[in-house]
Amino acid sequence: MISHSDITLAVLAGGQGSRMGKAKGEIRIDGRPILECLLGKLHWPGPTMLVTAPGREHPPKYELFDVEVIDAVAGEGPLRGLLTALENLTTPLLAVTTVDMLGVGRAQLIWLAEQLQSRQGALGMMCRRNAQVEPFPSAYRAEATNTVRSRLTSGRASVFGLSEQLGFETVNAPGNWDDAVWINLNSPADVLTFLRRRV
């Protein structure tokens, strides 16, 4: 078993949110900041890290995280956010989700970290769902940093593309995971759909 103190939770919140009409870190759920909702659901037992981008720093309730780190370059997408998290990591393992995936729970993130830990030499772990690779949630070892940096600097900016890289593995998502795990809140309509699902 992994000590939870060895796994940092990173929440990527640097997206512009063009379809949402505002940065995703500014979303509110039932009047509450989305970061407060997310951390309240996860009750993460280890270190927490918020990853933002230039111009989108300090979203509401950012102070609930142990640390906020900011991408060195804006507009390079979630792979830049992943690299920023890895470059600031102080634990052996990193569990990653995005600010707009409120269906992800602590159980999914811990499970992914355990799958990664059980595979000697693996640098990263993503899920397969219906034969499709899902980039988030996912888990990484600190040693993945150089590979992620190399892919980003060479213009291969897809997190999904890491699944094709040596050392980055995929595993079938457990069948008992709720479909809500995979919901992204990309628009106001998505938020309304999410709220209705809870009723």
Domain-wise residue ranges, the chain = 4-198
Quick one: pLDDT band at residue 197, thresholds 50, 70, 90? confident
Q: Is the pTM of this model over 0.85?
A: yes
Q: Compute the average pLDDT of residues 30-39.
A: 94
d(CA 44, CA 48): 7
- Average predicted confidence (pLDDT) for the chain: 92
d(CA 89, CA 79): 15
Backbone angles phi, psi at 166, to 5 degrees: -55, 130
Quick one: pLDDT band at residue 53, thresholds 50, 70, 90? very high
d(CA 84, CA 74): 11
pLDDT in tens, 130-178: 889 999 999 999 999 999 999 999 999 899 999 999 999 999 999 999 8
Quick one: pLDDT band at residue 17, thresholds 50, 70, 90? low
Architecture of the 4-198 domain: Alpha-Beta Complex (3.90)
Sign of the alpha-carbon torsion through 79, 50, 26, 196: positive
